[in-house]
Amino acid sequence: MIRLGIIGTNYGRTVLAPALRAAGGDVVALAGRDEAKTRARAAEAGIGNGYGDWRALIADDRVDAVAIATMPALQPEIACAALAAGKPVFAEKPMASTLAGARAMLQAAQKSGCATMVDFNFHQVMSWQRAKAMLDDGAIGALRHVAVHWHIENFSIQKRMRNWKTLADDGGGVLGNFISHCFHYLEWFCGPLAQLSARLSGLPGDDALQTTVAMALEFAGGPLGSLSMSCASYLGSGHRVEFYGEDGTLMLVNSGADYMRGFELWHGKRPAAALTRVPVVDAADAQFPDGRIAPVSRLAQQFLAAIENGRSAPPSFAEGCRVQQLIDAAQRSHREGRMIDVGATP
């Protein structure tokens, strides 16, 4: 059994630990900033060892692989140190606060030969898996256009918190915290993007709290895309991904407050007069208190299998670096007021 150490005591303890265990891993260590608190939290979670310094966790011979759940700006140093020690890494999204940091992580992974993975988890929701299979099977014919509408008010914005989830300089804001997911799943569904343009804004009177983005997208295969996202939308409409094809329409719709649970899949093909719901059941999800655990556990299974096989599995640091490239392009597009070519991989 692969023994894992987790760096980060919040998401790492509440989501990664149960997900890694459900995938068949053995979580043996937890690291945080305060040693006494980390030991107490580790004990509560049934984790044997608690550290007040991530370096001590990486140096522990009982740890075979490392999972990171810290703010993006801290991940490159931690990931590169773990890879240099020969330990595979499961990292959070976005990989870093800068494209240079993401590239450093990718280079360290390539040099080490260790398995890597990034926690892009929407595509592991079962309704999304079904949607992908239907698109690949021609359920709507040739894709014409894809539209993403994601309008919610998250807790950090509601409380006006100034942390990585709201501040773009720390690798977060609307691009790092939310659009990183969108970039990954759009290319997973539809293939690589070729061009994008973006406009960003923050709260009235406090533009540093980056909350809203509107984008125009063009895929290398030809279809166009539109993306509208705001995490400052009180009583917002939720999260929708809409695929419009030559022969039909497919939609993933979640009007609830839970990021992972609640997605419904709807489909209509000519000459139907209305969309019909496609039933999808996730038997694994019901056993967990948090809707993120089941999708992450499926990613974790692939990560552990990649370690056993001596290779990486997508989404690896290569996909994570690609997303960071797209985030960087969106920032440049906003600053320069123009369409950015994103066809070249990093």
What is the CATH number for 334?
3.30.360.10
Residues 113 and 138 in one domain: no
CA–CA separation, 286 and 294 (whole Å): 9
CATH code, 89 = 3.40.50.720
Instruction: Evaluate whether residue 228 is within a structural domain.
Output: yes
Check: CB of residue 276 under 8 Å from CB of residue 267: yes
CA–CA separation, 284 and 76 (whole Å): 33
Q: Which two tokens stand for residue 14?
A: 């509440």
* Enclosing domain of residue 90: 3-121+293-315
Calculate helix-pair angle for 180-190, 126-136, nearest 10 degrees.
30
Q: State yes or no: cis peptide before 94, omega within 30 of 0.
A: yes
Confidence of residue 201 (pLDDT cuts 50, 70, 90): very high
Residues 61 and 89 in one domain: yes
CA–CA separation, 69 and 78 (whole Å): 10
Q: What are the C-alpha distances in Å from 204 to residues 15, 207, 220?
A: 33, 7, 36
160 has pLDDT over 90: no
What pLDDT was estimated at residue 307? 97
What pLDDT was estimated at residue 62? 97
What pLDDT was estimated at residue 158? 79
Residue 153 is given by DSSP the state B
Instruction: Evaluate whether residue 334 is within a structural domain.
Output: yes
Instruction: Evaluate whether residue 274 is within a structural domain.
Output: yes
CA–CA separation, 8 and 338 (whole Å): 38
Average pLDDT over residues 270-281: 97
CA–CA separation, 127 and 266 (whole Å): 10
| Residue located via tokens 């918190």 | 161
Residues 157 and 263 in one domain: yes
Find the helix or strand (DSSP H, E) in which 190 lies. helix 180-190
Residues 96 and 159 in one domain: no
Residues 131 and 247 in one domain: yes
What pLDDT was estimated at residue 342? 97
Per-residue pLDDT of 168-181, as tens digits, reads 666 678 999 999 99
CA–CA separation, 112 and 288 (whole Å): 35
Instruction: Evaluate whether residue 169 is within a structural domain.
Output: yes
Number of domains in the chain: 2
Phi, psi of 87, deg, nearest 5: -110, 125
Instruction: Evaluate whether residue 222 is within a structural domain.
Output: yes
Residues 50 and 117 in one domain: yes
Quote the pTM value: 0.96
161 has pLDDT over 80: no
Instruction: Evaluate whether residue 196 is within a structural domain.
Output: yes
149 has pLDDT over 90: yes
Lowest mean pLDDT among 8-17, 41-50, 65-74, 154-163: 154-163
Residues 10 and 147 in one domain: no
What pLDDT was estimated at residue 345? 58
Residues 20 and 158 in one domain: no
* 277 vs 208: which has the higher pLDDT: 277
Residues 263 and 142 in one domain: yes
Instruction: Evaluate whether residue 145 is within a structural domain.
Output: yes
Average pLDDT over residues 301-320: 95
Per-residue pLDDT of 54-113, as tens digits, reads 999 999 999 999 999 999 999 999 999 999 999 999 999 999 999 999 999 999 999 999
| Residue located via tokens 């606060």 | 97
DSSP structure string for 122-135:
GGGSHHHHHHHHHH
What pLDDT was estimated at residue 15? 97
Instruction: Evaluate whether residue 346 is within a structural domain.
Output: no
36 has pLDDT over 90: yes
CA–CA separation, 183 and 204 (whole Å): 26
CA–CA separation, 6 and 89 (whole Å): 10
274 has pLDDT over 70: yes
346 has pLDDT over 60: no
Residues 180 and 280 in one domain: yes
Residues 68 and 128 in one domain: no
Beta strands in the chain (DSSP E): 3-7, 26-31, 49-51, 65-68, 89-91, 116-118, 143-151, 193-203, 206-219, 224-230, 238-245, 248-254, 264-269, 276-278, 340-341
Check: CB of residue 209 under 8 Å from CB of residue 166: yes
Residues 155 and 276 in one domain: yes
